[in-house]
Amino acid sequence: MAGRKLVIVESPAKARTIAGYLGADWDVEASVGHIRDIPTPSEMPADIKKGPFGKFGVNVDADFEPYYVVDADKKKKVRELRALLKNADELYLATDEDREGEAIAWHLLQTLEPKVPVKRMVFHEITKEAIQRAANTTRDVDVRLVDAQETRRILDRLYGYEVSPVLWRKVKAGLSAGRVQSVATRLVVQRERERMAFRSAAYWDVEADLTPGAESDRFTARLTGVDGARVATGRDFADDGTLRNDRATQVDEPTARGIAAALLEAQVRVAEVSEKPYTRRPSAPFTTSTLQQEASRKLRLNSRNAMRVAQRLYENGYITYMRTDSTSLSESALTAARTQAREMYGAEYVPDKPRLYEKKVKNAQEAHEAIRPAGDRFRTPAQVSGELRGEEFALYELIWKRTISSQMADARGSTASLRLAATLTDAPAREVELSASGTVITFKGFIAAYEEGRDESAKRGDDEERRLPRLGEGTLLRATRADALGHETSPPARYTEATLVKAMEEMGIGRPSTYASTIGTIQDRGYVSNRGSALVPSWLAFAVTRLMEEHFSRLVDYDFTASMEEDLDAIARGDQERVVWLRRFYFGDESSTAEGLRDLVADLGDIDARAISTIEIGDGIVVRVGRYGPYVEEVVPAGVDAATGEVTDAAAADSAPAQPRRATINDDIAPDEMTPEKARELLDAAADDGRVLGTDPESGHEIVARAGRYGPYVTEVLPEDDAPAPAKGKKAAAKARPRTASLFKDMDLATIDLDAALRLLSLPRVVGVATEEDGSQVEITAQNGRYGPYLKKGSDSRSLVAEQQLFDITLEEALAIYAQPKQRGRAAAKPPLAELGDDPVSGRPVVVKDGRFGPYVTDGETNATLRKDDDPEQLSPERGFELLADKRARGPVKKTAKKAARKAPAKKATAKKSAAKKTATKKA
């Protein structure tokens, strides 16, 4: 009697399908994906976190050993698998046949530690024949594939954990960098830069309807030459609007209209006739990337949804494995496709020999078949229409058509081209040339089953069927219509998901199996958004990409990223050693003096955060990426009218500093639409009486952000009809006042949004109720006052360290503060906001501190207050040294003897405070 066999797959759907193909002595269970992974540092046990695994979850000094833990939500699943394994005589690991699937199988093996024989069971389609064949043809776990997957996982962890914190410090908190996602973002940003730099050019041509006599022989031709010079078309113009081809002539509107009018009176003759055979071959069967592209074009499915639907079709046995780079088909699939095409379209639609396709994309992996209908005989769309609905049916039909058509005959026909000439008798007289072409399909071949979709930017050429009359050289024609047509050159088309996937595949960046998640990630991170099918980068993406290009150029270099994929392939083949490659990537290569990742992120002092987040628009206007979003800024000197640029107060213009005008940029304005003119519209609108942020959903009142005498603030606008009538007494008058709140120090009037304003207006916040020693209940509130944030319990107030605590502090934290003795005089020393390095003049360490009257920079001897536009958390060392040098040049402020005497003790306290801060910093 045969023993029990346990089969472990990834998904429950796959488990249900496979269980129906195996006998009663087989148990099929799903691991539900990976069961263990490298944890984040916050998820590590305390003793591990303090050790060499603490920073990455990888010990970079011990051959990049990863620290794996079973995911918290998978512990129950592991217990279930172990229980099933106790009753099993054999274990079959039947995860997907790719690197990720091989790694899942290896992790199962390491975690379950089976005492029974283990077999690796692989298949690329879920049919009864395929599953039974796989059960009888097993192998061992391929350690080389596991090494390649583990290297990729460690590589991505090192990249993300080293580079992402740089983005947090220099651009914005919460951002992420990734080996593939950063390059994909750069591609989208570069295309938008091309659109921003683009300048359109106008050009004209002429379109005419011509006939030798009969109306049925009428055809359309287009002007292509004037006096021996070729007429310029859109492709002859550079992106700056200039004509880059000296041999082409740019036709203007008067010339085009003159030619059109003269053509109606002229005699046109056929100068040349050419005809050649037309042949078009079918497209190869689907790979992961071409399936995503075609699903986007024809079914309007984004990459993520296309893969989600394909996953369901695969797990339920309708198609083969959907993560593949291969365009090849198995012998049985070739036979099935050819047989079905012959039965449905006729023997003449099938060539004598099967068509074989060779992948011509960088880093192609031929590990699997192409994506095709499952089985040795394909089910037609009509046969599955009762089982599949909606997107699943549409995608299956697309895959079926593509597979069948790939084994069908070429489409055949002929292409005819006519070159026409005419002598125009208008003044000045000129010789013009027109051209016409058309294709006649005489045998449809594969087009009878399927025709590949096109991107919007693709031009329809002679593939479009258009008939021309049979004409001989010298035939005379007359024009029945002639129109002058004006054109403007178009900027480079934005990427769509389909074209971005295509570009990444051609460059060898990433893997087809990761494209959907990569595009989803850059959308989720706010780097890219959709406008229709086009991918539009955000201003945040511009800042991140600029930082990466200027300081980590190698990490976002297209060839370098593609070479990493080649190296991973070499590890999978056993041609490279995992540890050696990781050591070279992280620590650098001494033989080539190439810096490793560790050295690249070591020195961040030369990264100017303000410059990184600034994008020049022109005419003295810039876009800045702030903490609360992008905004446009124009520096207008005092005494100068912002709208006209005229000097209204010469004295003020000479002496007063320039005051910036700022305005928030809404999400509906794409970067290439932000022209100086558009920027000034926003600035002028923001200069009116406050900026409307939106409406309070609870009160219905409009919320406005304004610049006041004592700083920026937000307030609600009370409608006159809703406002209480004036009454006697202070208490009654107070009820009619709108809620008002000052902005926090780290908030910007130009970028604050409605949500942040409503949170400010919700203050003071009731933190909770405290029970006093006498049993009485006292409310604790968090409030923002003249001297900063504080807690209030009855008449007892306690300062808070940060304004954000007003929203975050809990009752327990507040009670802990009140449990401490109340401090008199100055508060405890706070750590510096930033450390800038040693001052080149004094040689002392320079730090940025938060003082009573705002942030300032100091070297312990000289203090310099930050200017209004200086961000204390993103202040560059150069700017800090400049402020100190300026303060030294102005000299000390003169004080009276009385004031100096009063300040003497404070200087002593300040010295102690500085020492305390230095000690704290050193300990940290």
Residues with catalytic roles: 321
Picking from 453, 452, 456, 451, the residue whose alpha carbon sits closest to that of residue 533 is 456
Pairing of strands 90-93, 5-9: parallel
Q: Which residues contact 376 (CB under 8 A, 6 or more apart)?
A: 127, 129, 332, 333, 335, 336
How open is the CA angle 209-211-215, to the nearest 5 degrees?
95
For residue 352, give the DSSP letter. Answer: S
Residue 6, strand partner residues: 27, 91
Q: In what order do the strands lie in the sheet with 765-771?
A: 765-771, 777-785, 788-793, 796-799
CB-CB contact of 67 with 48 (8 Å): yes
Q: Which residues contact 50 (CB under 8 A, 6 or more apart)?
A: none
Helix ranges restricted to H, 171-287: 181-197, 253-263
Picking from 58, 99, 67, 57, the residue whose alpha carbon sits closest to that of residue 571 is 99
Question: What is the C-alpha separation between 833 and 795, in angstroms, rounded?
Answer: 31
CB-CB contact of 126 with 18 (8 Å): yes
Question: What is the C-alpha separation between 588 and 600, in angstroms, rounded?
Answer: 10
Rg of the chain over CA atoms, in angstroms?
36
Question: What is the C-alpha separation between 909 and 14, in angstroms, rounded?
Answer: 71
CA–CA distance from 422 to each of 301, 419, 482, 762 (Å)?
50, 10, 13, 79
Question: What is the C-alpha separation between 589 and 617, in angstroms, rounded?
Answer: 40
Q: First and final CA of the chain: distance in angstroms?
A: 67
Q: Which residues contact 739 (CB under 8 A, 6 or more apart)?
A: 715, 716, 761
CA–CA distance from 696 to each of 146, 604, 721, 807 (Å)?
55, 42, 17, 19
The total number of residues shown for the chain amounts to 924
Question: What is the C-alpha separation between 875 and 878, in angstroms, rounded?
Answer: 8
How is 62-73 classified by DSSP, letter by letter?
A: TTTEE--EE-GG
What is the helix (H) or strand (E) element at residue 505, kind and residue range?
helix 497-507
Picking from 837, 186, 67, the residue whose alpha carbon sits closest to that of residue 555 is 186
Contacts 24+ apart (CB under 8 A), 766-773: 767/791, 767/809, 767/810, 767/811, 767/814, 768/810, 768/811, 768/814, 769/811, 770/811, 770/814, 770/815, 770/818
Q: Which amino acid is at 633?
A: E
Tokens of 642: 């912002």
Question: What is the C-alpha separation between 558 and 179, in angstroms, rounded?
Answer: 11
Q: Which amino acid is at 307?
A: M
Tokens of 89: 């005589």
**Where on the phi/psi map is residue 620: left (φ > 0), alpha (ψ -120 to 50), or beta?**
left
Exposure of 487 by Cβ count < 10 A (0-12 exposed, 13-18 middle, 19+ buried)? middle
The upper half-sphere exposure of residue 707, i.e. CA atoms within 13 Å in the direction of its Cβ, equals: 11
